[in-house]
């Protein structure tokens, strides 16, 4: 499964659409963000996606967790949001 990666410059509506689409198709989505700005965009996108999916009768839950990722041979801590239907 592909991870939806969010940056501080990501468009929230685009990320929300990606989350909703993955939930509709695969019933499981993972969103990853590094840094306060990226986490902010990811959370806003999650709220928008929740609204998109409610229109289809799909309620979602989100479980956040820390995950270490390698970027340019450096280990960074990211926030991963695991999203699934309720």
Domain CATH for 72: 3.30.110.20
Q: Tokens in use for 49?
A: 């996606």
User: Which H, E and C letters describe 46-63, residue by residue?
Assistant: HHHHHHHHHCCCCCEEEE
Report pLDDT for 73.
95
Range of the domain at 21: 4-85
Report pLDDT for 2.
86
Report pLDDT for 1.
65
CB atoms closer than 10 angstroms to residue 20: 23
- Angstrom distance (rounded) from CA 32 to CA 3: 7
Residues of the chain with pLDDT under 70: 1
Report pLDDT for 30.
97
Is 66:32 a contact under the CB 8 Å cutoff? no
Q: How many domains in the chain?
A: 1
List pLDDT tens digits, range 5-22.
999 999 999 999 999 999
Q: Determine the distance from the C-alpha atom of residue 13 to the mean position of all C-alpha atoms in its chain, rounded to a whole number.
A: 12
């Amino acid at each position: 499964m592909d991870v939806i990666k969010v940056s501080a410059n990501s468009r929230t509506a685009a990320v929300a659409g990606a989350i909703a689409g993955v939930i509709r198709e695969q019933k499981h989505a993972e969103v990853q963000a590094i840094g306060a700005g990226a986490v902010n965009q990811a959370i806003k996108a999650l709220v928008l996606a929740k609204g998109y999916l409610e229109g289809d009768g799909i309620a979602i839950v989100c479980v956040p967790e820390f995950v270490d990722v390698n970027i340019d041979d450096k280990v960074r801590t990211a926030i991963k949001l695991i999203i699934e239907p309720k």
